[in-house]
Amino acid sequence: QSIFFGASIGLGVPASSCKTPADVRSFDDARAVFKAAHAAHTEAMRHYVLDGCVTDHVALQRDVSQMYRWLAVFETDEKRKLAMYMRRTAALRPLLDELGKKAYEDLHKTLSFEVGEVSMELAEMKSVRIRAKQEAQPAYRPKAVEITKVNQFLDEAVDAFQHFVDMY
């Protein structure tokens, strides 16, 4: 019996209803895939808890971070895109506090680097927003809160990258 994509293979396994990357063409398509994947990851994290299944739990959290990253590609609303990136750091940053540095050195390196990258992306998004306002209104001066937020993201990035460097 020949096997081809989307066909039952004779083992009682139904044909896959998964979308291929070519099927995802809009935010709504991406959100549908994201919701299904996020639900599966949330269910898996109930079983693969941090206390006992550390590497599996961290891998699942990193997957969630990447899912937000790819969903953000389709997002046009800047505030929602920022919120997605904030969720990425919210998923990863606490792990750095909870994992022992000596026992999980490789995970600390990986996580701290990714947190640093996400923080840099957040700072860049905020900076682009400020520049767009300045281009639209040449007399525009950024508000103190806008500058503070960019600096906060940059400080978080520096801290994360410093943690990464310190692991060597």
Asked whether residue 122 carries a pLDDT value surpassing 70, the answer given is yes
* Closest to 113 (Cα-Cα) out of 158, 161, 167: 161
The predicted model scores a pTM of 0.81
Give the pLDDT of residue 86.
Answer: 95
Question: What is the residue whose two structure tokens read 């006992």?
Answer: 52
The string of pLDDT tens digits covering residues 22-67 is: 777 888 888 998 999 999 999 999 999 988 899 999 999 999 999 9
Cα torsion at 59, 106, 91, 121 (round to 10°)? -110
Phi and psi (nearest 5°) for 5? -55, 130
Question: Which tokens in the block code for residue 62?
Answer: 């990193």
Tell me how far CA of residue 149 lies from CA of 14, 21, 155, 158, in angstroms.
50, 35, 10, 14
